[in-house]
Amino acid sequence: MPKNTDLLIAASTIWVVVTAVLVMFMQAGFAFLEAGLTRMKNAGHIAGKNVLIFAVCSIVYWAVGFGLAFGDGNGLIGTHGFLPSVTQLISVGKKPFDFFAEIPGAAGYLFEVVFAGVSLAIVWGAMAERAKLWVYFVFGAVFTLIYSVTSHWIWDSHGWLFKKGMQDFAGSTVVHYQGALAALAGAILLGPRIGKFGHDGRANPIPGHNIPYAVLGTIILWFGWFGFNPGSTLSVDFGGFGYFAYVATTTNIAAAAGALGGIVTASLVLKKPDLSMMLNGVIAALVAITAASGYVAPWAAVVIGLVSGFIAVTGVIVVERIGIDDPIGAVAVHGASGIWGTLACGLFTVPLLAGRLATGHGGLVYTGSFHQLGVQALGVAVVGAWTFSASFSVLWVLKRLWGIRVHEEAETLGLDVSEHGMWGYPEFYIPVPGGYGTEAHAHLLGRPAHVSVAATPHEHLPPAVVE
């Protein structure tokens, strides 16, 4: 006969594990969004590196990151729980992972590592189509640690920004804004792709090769975000039993508004309902509602989403204007919109909900007070300074020491064949006149035994040929 506390643990663990798994699947979303918005010649590399970096992140986060972020410690970092033991992972609410009160430490690891993986996936979007492969290993590991520190500040109960009452429900700042800061540093240090900017400095469009991929990626992300935000209750009763359903609702409404905001802005500003911009609008809205999903009313979710759609479109253009080449728009979509979402809490947080979640206070429109907005702005400023400078310095050193960008020929040829020896779509590239799907050529078949089936050709041949 199970005890009610056991059942509570069971339900909470189901919830956290299931949502963690949804978030993990966002890697497929990023892989296809990024591959879709870049060129065929890099498609395999772009998609494949998401598997690689999530792997790097999973190991590093298990060894060090998780302890740094959620192990017992001080206001700045966690100091326990590195290379966690079996017992630490299977016990519930025990030190060093007592931060997770109703789920085993393992569930905590799983939920938090997939978040780190998302932040890391964002980084590479802006660095796509020109970074060296090994940089993914090295910076992937380093960024995982940078990320862990910040998440400790804002999410862990000892974190100094948490103590100030900063509201970042699921990580507009921790996950998305941070990822975008590193992405920005990378894009600046790498410089634009060959051909992105003409001699006159005008930006050239480099169309993504597969919009259906980008759509699939976006829907997968939307899908995964239902794990991202609602799962951040880390239990079934935080905010009240079943409260996470409310979080899912604001998330969905904001995403929808983002799609509309994006496509409408594109139609007005660009005079075309650009599909990639609509998709960016969805993601920007999801990024913004990430911080606010637990705190705001549905109407505010609509506002947040619409504004995000506008930010996505204009942001992409501005970033390009100032000469930064961000192939998939990570800086605008995760950075600008991440800031917007974080500040939006300061504007729209419903006092009742801030109370239920026991984090910070109501927003400006309800309380007339700028307090919460100030706290949010502080968080944005501090994280911006820390993560950008840390990422920039590390990448700058890597660049100085070994260089982080592939050679010109490699970039022109494409990373698939130059870095991995084979294109992502070999049958479009290997110049085989036999064409797609036929392998009837020497290096695969060996010469056919006989080249003629005519008895003895000469007989039939016209004098003109034999002379």
Binding stretches for another protein (CB under 8 A) = 203-205, 207, 266, 269-272, 274, 276-277, 313, 316-317, 329, 412, 417, 420-422, 426, 430-435, 438, 440-444, 447-448, 451-454, 457, 460-462, 464-467
- Is 105 within 8 Å of 89 (Cβ atoms)? yes
Amino acid found at 106:
A
Residue 313 binds which of its own copies, another protein, none (CB < 5-8 A, kind-dependent): another protein
Work out how close the CB of 429 gets to its own copies at its nearest, in angstroms, rounded to a whole number. 7
Query: Phi-psi region for residue 437, left (φ > 0), alpha (ψ -120 to 50) or beta?
Result: left
399 CB-side CA count, 13 A: 16
Provide the 10 A C-beta neighbour count for residue 433: 6
By CB under 8 A, residue 133 contacts its own copies: yes
269 touching its own copies, by CB under 8 A: no
Partner whose binding site includes residue 138, from its own copies, another protein, none (CB under 5 to 8 Å by kind): none
Q: Contact letters (x/-) for its own copies, 34-73, by CB under 8 A?
A: -x---xxx-xxx-xx-xxx-xxxxxx--x-----------
Among 75, 240, 374, 403, binds its own copies (CB under 8 A): 240
- Provide the 3-class DSSP secondary structure of residue 242: coil
Could you say which residues in the range 144-203 bind its own copies, by CB under 8 A?
194-195, 198-200
Kindly identify the residues of this chain, within the stretch 325-364, that bind its own copies according to CB under 8 A.
Answer: 350, 352-353
The answer to whether the beta carbons of residues 356 and 240 sit under 8 Å apart is yes
Residue closer to another protein, measured from CB, 218 or 276: 276
Residue among 13 and 265 whose Cβ is closer to another protein: 265
Residue labelled with tokens 């253009």:
317
Task: For the CB of residue 222, give the shortest distance to another protein in the complex, in Å.
Answer: 20
Query: Considering the complex, what minimum distance in angstroms separates the CB of residue 451 from its own copies?
Result: 15
Binding mask 6-35 toward its own copies (x if CB under 8 A, else -) reads: xxxxxxxxxxxxx-xxx-xx-xx--xx--x
Which of another protein, its own copies, none has residue 230 at its interface (CB below 5 to 8 Å by kind)? Answer: its own copies
Of 138 and 275, the one with the shorter C-beta distance to another protein is 275
Question: Per rule CB under 8 A, is residue 76 in the interface with its own copies?
Answer: no
Task: Say if residues 21 and 205 touch (Cβ distance below 8 Å).
Answer: no
Subset of residues 361 to 420 that bind its own copies, contact rule: CB under 8 A: 412, 414, 416, 419-420
Q: Which residues of 62-95 are buried (b: 16+ CB within 10 A; e: fewer)?
A: bebbbbbbbbbbeeebbeebeebeeebbeebeee
Beta carbons of 155 and 69 less than 8 angstroms apart: yes
The smaller minimum CB distance to another protein, of residues 9 and 215, is found at 215
What token pair was written down for 231? 């799962």
Backbone torsion region of residue 363, taken as left when φ is above 0, otherwise alpha when ψ lies between -120 and 50, otherwise beta? beta
Residue 385 contact partner, candidates another protein, its own copies, none, CB within 5 to 8 A by sort of partner: none
- Concatenate the DSSP letters of all residues of 99-159 into one string: TSSSSBHHHHHHHHHHHHHHHHHHHHHTTTTTB-HHHHHHHHHHHHHHHHHHHHHHHSTT-
Please, which of residues 430-449 interact with its own copies by CB under 8 A?
430, 436-440, 443-447
The pair of three-digit structure tokens given for residue 9, joined into one six-digit string: 């643990």
Q: Which amino acid is at 313?
A: V
Binding mask 83-122 for its own copies (x = CB under 8 A): xxxx--xx-x----------xx-xx-xx--x---------
Q: Which is nearer to another protein, 4 or 452 (CB)?
A: 452
Q: Which residues pair with 415 in a beta bridge?
A: none
In the DSSP assignment, the letter for residue 63 is I
Does 226 interact with its own copies (rule: CB under 8 A)?
yes
Binding segment for its own copies (CB under 8 A), chosen from 219-227, 367-375, 377-385, 451-459, is 219-227
